[in-house]
Protein backbone atom coordinates (compact mmCIF):
# COMPACT_ATOMS: atom_id res chain seq x y z
CA UNK A 1 0.00 0.00 0.00
CA UNK A 2 1.13 3.56 -0.72
CA UNK A 3 2.55 5.59 2.14
CA UNK A 4 0.58 8.56 3.48
CA UNK A 5 1.69 11.72 5.24
CA UNK A 6 -0.53 13.60 7.66
CA UNK A 7 0.12 16.48 10.06
CA UNK A 8 0.49 15.15 13.60
CA UNK A 9 -2.08 17.49 15.11
CA UNK A 10 -4.70 20.10 14.32
CA UNK A 11 -7.15 22.21 16.28
CA UNK A 12 -10.58 23.30 15.16
CA UNK A 13 -13.22 25.49 16.77
CA UNK A 14 -16.51 23.83 17.55
CA UNK A 15 -19.07 24.46 14.83
CA UNK A 16 -16.46 25.28 12.21
CA UNK A 17 -15.35 23.03 9.38
CA UNK A 18 -12.37 20.78 10.07
CA UNK A 19 -10.17 20.20 7.02
CA UNK A 20 -7.72 17.34 7.45
CA UNK A 21 -5.09 16.96 4.71
CA UNK A 22 -3.34 13.81 3.55
CA UNK A 23 -0.53 13.39 1.05
CA UNK A 24 -0.25 10.13 -0.89
CA UNK A 25 2.02 11.01 -3.78
CA UNK A 26 2.88 7.38 -4.60
CA UNK A 27 -0.72 6.20 -4.89
CA UNK A 28 -1.37 3.67 -7.63
CA UNK A 29 -4.25 3.74 -10.06
CA UNK A 30 -6.10 0.93 -8.33
CA UNK A 31 -5.71 2.26 -4.79
CA UNK A 32 -8.54 3.89 -2.89
CA UNK A 33 -8.22 6.58 -0.23
CA UNK A 34 -9.82 5.62 3.08
CA UNK A 35 -10.37 7.62 6.23
CA UNK A 36 -10.90 6.18 9.69
CA UNK A 37 -10.91 7.81 13.07
CA UNK A 38 -10.24 6.48 16.52
CA UNK A 39 -11.46 8.01 19.70
CA UNK A 40 -9.19 7.20 22.61
CA UNK A 41 -9.13 3.48 23.39
CA UNK A 42 -12.09 2.68 21.14
CA UNK A 43 -12.13 0.72 17.89
CA UNK A 44 -11.42 2.66 14.68
CA UNK A 45 -14.50 4.03 12.99
CA UNK A 46 -14.85 4.02 9.22
CA UNK A 47 -15.62 7.47 7.85
CA UNK A 48 -15.45 7.53 4.07
CA UNK A 49 -13.48 6.34 1.06
CA UNK A 50 -13.04 7.24 -2.58
CA UNK A 51 -11.09 6.43 -5.73
CA UNK A 52 -10.92 9.64 -7.73
CA UNK A 53 -14.23 11.43 -7.43
CA UNK A 54 -15.18 13.56 -4.46
CA UNK A 55 -17.40 11.72 -2.02
CA UNK A 56 -19.86 12.82 0.65
CA UNK A 57 -21.78 10.94 3.28
CA UNK A 58 -23.57 11.79 6.50
CA UNK A 59 -20.30 12.11 8.38
CA UNK A 60 -17.91 13.89 6.07
CA UNK A 61 -16.77 14.88 2.60
CA UNK A 62 -13.68 13.61 0.85
CA UNK A 63 -11.96 15.81 -1.70
CA UNK A 64 -9.33 14.09 -3.87
CA UNK A 65 -7.10 16.18 -6.11
CA UNK A 66 -7.19 15.55 -9.81
CA UNK A 67 -3.73 13.95 -9.80
CA UNK A 68 -4.82 11.88 -6.77
CA UNK A 69 -1.62 12.70 -4.90
CA UNK A 70 -3.44 14.30 -2.00
CA UNK A 71 -6.84 14.46 -0.38
CA UNK A 72 -8.73 16.38 2.27
CA UNK A 73 -11.28 15.09 4.72
CA UNK A 74 -13.84 17.71 5.64
CA UNK A 75 -16.01 17.57 8.74
CA UNK A 76 -18.46 20.36 7.95
CA UNK A 77 -19.51 21.30 11.47
CA UNK A 78 -17.07 19.90 14.00
CA UNK A 79 -18.32 19.01 17.47
CA UNK A 80 -16.45 18.10 20.63
CA UNK A 81 -17.25 14.45 19.90
CA UNK A 82 -15.18 14.67 16.72
CA UNK A 83 -12.00 14.94 18.79
CA UNK A 84 -10.05 11.84 17.73
CA UNK A 85 -7.06 10.58 15.79
CA UNK A 86 -7.85 10.56 12.07
CA UNK A 87 -6.10 8.07 9.83
CA UNK A 88 -5.72 8.35 6.08
CA UNK A 89 -4.98 5.05 4.32
CA UNK A 90 -4.54 4.11 0.70
CA UNK A 91 -5.13 0.54 -0.32
CA UNK A 92 -6.00 -1.59 -3.29
CA UNK A 93 -9.37 -3.21 -2.74
CA UNK A 94 -8.87 -6.31 -4.82
CA UNK A 95 -5.47 -7.46 -3.64
CA UNK A 96 -4.32 -10.29 -1.40
CA UNK A 97 -3.48 -7.81 1.34
CA UNK A 98 -6.64 -5.73 0.94
CA UNK A 99 -7.86 -6.63 4.39
CA UNK A 100 -4.51 -6.06 6.12
CA UNK A 101 -4.92 -2.46 7.13
CA UNK A 102 -1.98 -0.46 8.34
CA UNK A 103 -2.48 2.83 10.13
CA UNK A 104 0.22 5.47 10.21
CA UNK A 105 0.50 8.01 12.99
CA UNK A 106 -2.60 9.91 11.89
CA UNK A 107 -3.69 13.41 12.82
CA UNK A 108 -4.87 14.20 16.33
CA UNK A 109 -7.81 16.54 15.81
CA UNK A 110 -8.84 18.51 18.85
CA UNK A 111 -12.13 20.38 18.64
CA UNK A 112 -12.09 23.35 20.97
CA UNK A 113 -15.22 24.77 22.64
CA UNK B 1 -27.90 -3.23 11.36
CA UNK B 2 -25.84 -4.15 14.42
CA UNK B 3 -22.13 -3.45 14.29
CA UNK B 4 -19.19 -5.69 15.05
CA UNK B 5 -19.30 -6.94 18.61
CA UNK B 6 -16.42 -8.19 20.72
CA UNK B 7 -16.37 -9.92 24.06
CA UNK B 8 -15.11 -9.46 26.64
CA UNK B 9 -14.35 -5.75 26.53
CA UNK B 10 -11.74 -5.90 29.26
CA UNK B 11 -9.59 -8.73 30.53
CA UNK B 12 -6.82 -9.09 33.08
CA UNK B 13 -4.60 -12.17 32.96
CA UNK B 14 -1.27 -13.20 34.38
CA UNK B 15 1.82 -14.37 32.52
CA UNK B 16 1.62 -17.93 31.30
CA UNK B 17 -2.16 -18.05 31.13
CA UNK B 18 -4.12 -18.34 27.94
CA UNK B 19 -7.01 -16.22 26.71
CA UNK B 20 -9.81 -16.51 24.15
CA UNK B 21 -11.42 -13.47 22.59
CA UNK B 22 -14.63 -13.52 20.61
CA UNK B 23 -15.89 -11.48 17.67
CA UNK B 24 -19.26 -11.41 15.95
CA UNK B 25 -19.16 -9.68 12.55
CA UNK B 26 -21.84 -7.56 10.99
CA UNK B 27 -24.63 -9.73 9.65
CA UNK B 28 -23.80 -10.87 6.13
CA UNK B 29 -20.08 -10.25 6.47
CA UNK B 30 -18.03 -13.39 5.97
CA UNK B 31 -14.52 -11.98 6.36
CA UNK B 32 -13.15 -11.30 9.83
CA UNK B 33 -9.72 -9.83 10.50
CA UNK B 34 -7.93 -9.49 13.81
CA UNK B 35 -5.50 -6.77 14.81
CA UNK B 36 -3.33 -5.95 17.79
CA UNK B 37 -2.90 -2.30 18.69
CA UNK B 38 -0.27 -1.01 21.09
CA UNK B 39 1.09 2.51 21.65
CA UNK B 40 4.55 1.48 20.51
CA UNK B 41 3.76 -0.69 17.48
CA UNK B 42 0.50 0.83 16.32
CA UNK B 43 -2.01 -1.35 14.50
CA UNK B 44 -0.65 -4.74 13.49
CA UNK B 45 -2.47 -7.35 11.44
CA UNK B 46 -2.81 -10.77 13.06
CA UNK B 47 -4.89 -12.86 10.66
CA UNK B 48 -7.97 -12.93 8.49
CA UNK B 49 -10.64 -15.60 8.18
CA UNK B 50 -13.12 -16.11 5.40
CA UNK B 51 -15.66 -18.93 5.27
CA UNK B 52 -13.96 -20.72 8.17
CA UNK B 53 -10.55 -20.65 6.47
CA UNK B 54 -7.54 -18.57 7.40
CA UNK B 55 -6.82 -16.49 4.33
CA UNK B 56 -3.96 -14.28 5.50
CA UNK B 57 -1.62 -14.25 8.46
CA UNK B 58 0.55 -11.54 9.92
CA UNK B 59 3.95 -11.86 11.50
CA UNK B 60 3.03 -13.11 14.96
CA UNK B 61 4.27 -16.18 16.83
CA UNK B 62 2.32 -19.41 16.88
CA UNK B 63 0.98 -18.56 20.34
CA UNK B 64 -1.57 -16.45 18.49
CA UNK B 65 -4.22 -18.51 16.76
CA UNK B 66 -7.75 -18.12 15.57
CA UNK B 67 -10.71 -19.80 14.04
CA UNK B 68 -13.99 -18.98 12.41
CA UNK B 69 -17.29 -20.76 12.76
CA UNK B 70 -19.94 -21.48 10.17
CA UNK B 71 -21.96 -18.46 11.32
CA UNK B 72 -18.88 -16.26 10.64
CA UNK B 73 -18.25 -15.61 14.32
CA UNK B 74 -14.56 -15.76 15.10
CA UNK B 75 -12.36 -16.40 18.09
CA UNK B 76 -8.72 -15.73 18.66
CA UNK B 77 -6.60 -17.44 21.27
CA UNK B 78 -3.34 -16.41 22.83
CA UNK B 79 -1.49 -19.07 24.78
CA UNK B 80 1.33 -18.65 27.29
CA UNK B 81 0.66 -14.96 27.73
CA UNK B 82 3.58 -12.55 27.98
CA UNK B 83 3.64 -9.02 29.39
CA UNK B 84 4.10 -7.70 25.86
CA UNK B 85 0.77 -9.16 24.81
CA UNK B 86 -0.98 -6.38 26.71
CA UNK B 87 -2.83 -4.51 24.00
CA UNK B 88 -6.13 -3.57 22.44
CA UNK B 89 -7.27 -6.46 20.26
CA UNK B 90 -9.50 -5.40 17.43
CA UNK B 91 -11.74 -7.39 15.18
CA UNK B 92 -12.95 -6.07 11.84
CA UNK B 93 -15.45 -7.50 9.40
CA UNK B 94 -15.42 -6.72 5.71
CA UNK B 95 -18.37 -5.82 3.56
CA UNK B 96 -19.34 -8.44 0.96
CA UNK B 97 -17.56 -6.48 -1.76
CA UNK B 98 -14.46 -6.40 0.41
CA UNK B 99 -14.18 -2.64 0.02
CA UNK B 100 -14.57 -1.58 3.61
CA UNK B 101 -13.60 -2.96 7.02
CA UNK B 102 -15.69 -2.13 10.05
CA UNK B 103 -14.09 -2.44 13.43
CA UNK B 104 -15.50 -3.60 16.72
CA UNK B 105 -14.93 -1.78 20.01
CA UNK B 106 -11.97 -3.99 20.88
CA UNK B 107 -10.93 -6.10 23.83
CA UNK B 108 -8.46 -4.46 26.18
CA UNK B 109 -6.11 -7.17 27.50
CA UNK B 110 -3.80 -6.50 30.40
CA UNK B 111 -1.20 -9.13 31.25
CA UNK B 112 0.32 -8.88 34.71
**Residue B34 half-sphere exposure toward CB, CA atoms < 13 A:** 32
Mean pLDDT across chain B: 94
Nearest CA in chain A to B33: A99
Q: Which residues of A touch B102 (CB under 8 A)?
A: 46
What is the rounded CA–CA span in Å between residue B71 and residue B32?
A: 11
Q: With an 8 Å Cβ cutoff, are B94 and A41 in contact? A: no
Query: Which has more pLDDT, A102 or A81?
Result: A81
Of B45, B28, B25, the closest CA to residue B89 belongs to: B45
CA distance A24 to chain B (A): 19
pLDDT at residue A97 is higher than 70: no
Q: Residue B88's closest chain A neighbor by CA?
A: A41
Q: Are A88 and A73 in contact (CB under 8 A)?
A: yes
The predicted model gives A16-20 an average pLDDT of: 98
- Would you state the pLDDT for residue A34? 93
CB contact under 8 A, B98 and A49: no
Residue of B nearest to A46 (CA): B102
The pLDDT value given to residue A99 = 67
Q: Is the dihedral of CA A91, A93, A94, A95 positive or negative?
A: positive
Query: Can you tell me the mean pLDDT for B25-43?
Result: 91
> Are B46 and A107 spatial neighbours (Cβ–Cβ below 8 Å)?
no
**CA of A34, closest CA in chain B: separation in Å?**
9
A interface test, pick of B99, B107, B109 with most A CB neighbours within 10 Å: B99
Nearest to A47 by CA among A16, A13, A6, A88: A88
Amino acid sequence: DAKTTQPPSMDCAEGRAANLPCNHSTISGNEYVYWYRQIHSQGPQYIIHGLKNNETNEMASLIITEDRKSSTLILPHATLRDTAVYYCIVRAVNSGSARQLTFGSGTQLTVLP
Amino acid sequence: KAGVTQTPRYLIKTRGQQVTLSCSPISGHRSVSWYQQTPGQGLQFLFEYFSETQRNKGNFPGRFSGRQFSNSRSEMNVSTLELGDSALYLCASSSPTGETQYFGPGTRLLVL
